[in-house]
Structure 1
Amino acid sequence: MPVDIVKKNNVTVRNESAAQTIVFAHGFGTDQTAWEKVAAAFSNDFKIVLYDNVGAGQSDPGSFSPNRYDTLHSYAEDLLAILRSLNLTDVIMVGHSVSGMISLLASVKEPERFKKLILVGASPRYLDSDGYKGGFTQEMLNGLYSAMANNYYAWVSGFAPMVMENVDRPELAESFAQSLVAIRPDIAQSVVRVIFQSDHRAELPNVTIDTLLLQTQHDSAVPAEVALYLNKQITNSQLKTVAAEGHFPHISAPDEIIREIKNFIG
Structure 2
Amino acid sequence: MSWFREQTGQGSTLLLLHGWGMESRVFAGWRALLEPYFTCISYDLPGHGRSPCTATGMHWPELLQQLQDLLSREATPPIVLGWSLGGLLALGLALNQRLRQPGLLRGLVLMASSPSFRQRADWSAGIPAATLEDFGLRLQTDPQGTRKRFLALQVLGDPQGRRALDGMAAWPSPDPACLADGLKLLQEVDLRAALATLTLPVQVIHGAQDRIVPPEAAFYLHQHIVDSQLTMLEQAGHAPFLSRPELCRDAILEHWT
Is this a same-fold pair by TM over 0.5? yes
Q: Which residue of 2 aligns with 1:239?
A: 230
Provide the C-alpha distance between the structure 1 equivalents of 2:27 and 2:188, rounded to a whole number of angstroms: 26
Q: How far 1:19 moved relative to its partner? A: 5.5
Change (3 A) 1:74 1:176: farther
Alignment of 1:1-266 (within 5 A): 8-15=2-9, 18=10, 20-59=12-51, 61-66=52-57, 69-71=58-60, 73-89=61-77, 91-108=78-95, 109=97, 110-165=101-156, 166-167=158-159, 170-179=162-171, 181-266=172-257
* Secondary structure, counterpart of 2:46 in structure 1: coil
Q: How far 1:188 moved relative to its partner? A: 1.4
Change (3 A) 1:254 1:178: same
Q: Give TM-score, length-normalised by structure 1.
A: 0.85
* Secondary structure, counterpart of 1:245 in structure 2: coil
Q: Give TM-score, length-normalised by structure 2.
A: 0.88
* Secondary structure, counterpart of 2:34 in structure 1: coil
Change (3 A) 1:36 1:62: closer
CA contact (8 A) 2:118 2:186 kept: no
Stretches of structure 2 that go unaligned for 5 or more consecutive residues are: none
Paired AA for residue 176 in structure 2: P
**Cα RMSD for the two superposed structures:** 2.2
Q: How far 1:62 moved relative to its partner? A: 4.8
CA contact (8 A) 1:111 1:208 kept: no
Provide the C-alpha distance between the structure 2 equivalents of 1:45 and 1:159, rounded to a whole number of angstroms: 32
Provide the C-alpha distance between the structure 1 equivalents of 2:165 and 2:235, rounded to a whole number of angstroms: 15
User: What are the superposed Cα offsets for residues 41-92 of structure 1, whole Å, 9 maximum, x if unpaired?
Assistant: 2323332211111111111x152534xx322x43332222122223332x22
Change (3 A) 1:27 1:156: closer
Stretches of structure 1 that go unaligned for 5 or more consecutive residues are: none
Q: How far 1:170 moved relative to its partner? A: 4.5
* Secondary structure, counterpart of 1:41 in structure 2: helix
* Secondary structure, counterpart of 1:50 in structure 2: strand
User: What are the superposed Cα offsets for residues 76-119 of structure 1, whole Å, 9 maximum, x if unpaired?
Assistant: 32222122223332x22211111112112222313412222111
Provide the C-alpha distance between the structure 1 equivalents of 2:160 and 2:191, rounded to a whole number of angstroms: 35
User: What are the superposed Cα offsets for residues 111-147 of structure 1, whole Å, 9 maximum, x if unpaired?
Assistant: 4122221110111112222332132333232222112
Structure 1 residues 165-174 or 225-234, which shifts more?
165-174
Paired AA for residue 85 in structure 2: V
CA contact (8 A) 2:6 2:41 kept: yes
Provide the C-alpha distance between the structure 2 equivalents of 1:33 and 1:201, rounded to a whole number of angstroms: 30
Provide the C-alpha distance between the structure 2 equivalents of 1:92 and 1:36, rounded to a whole number of angstroms: 18
User: How many equivalent residue pairs?
Assistant: 252
State the identity as a percent: 20
Large movers: runs of 4+ above 3 Å? 167-174
Paired AA for residue 199 in structure 2: T
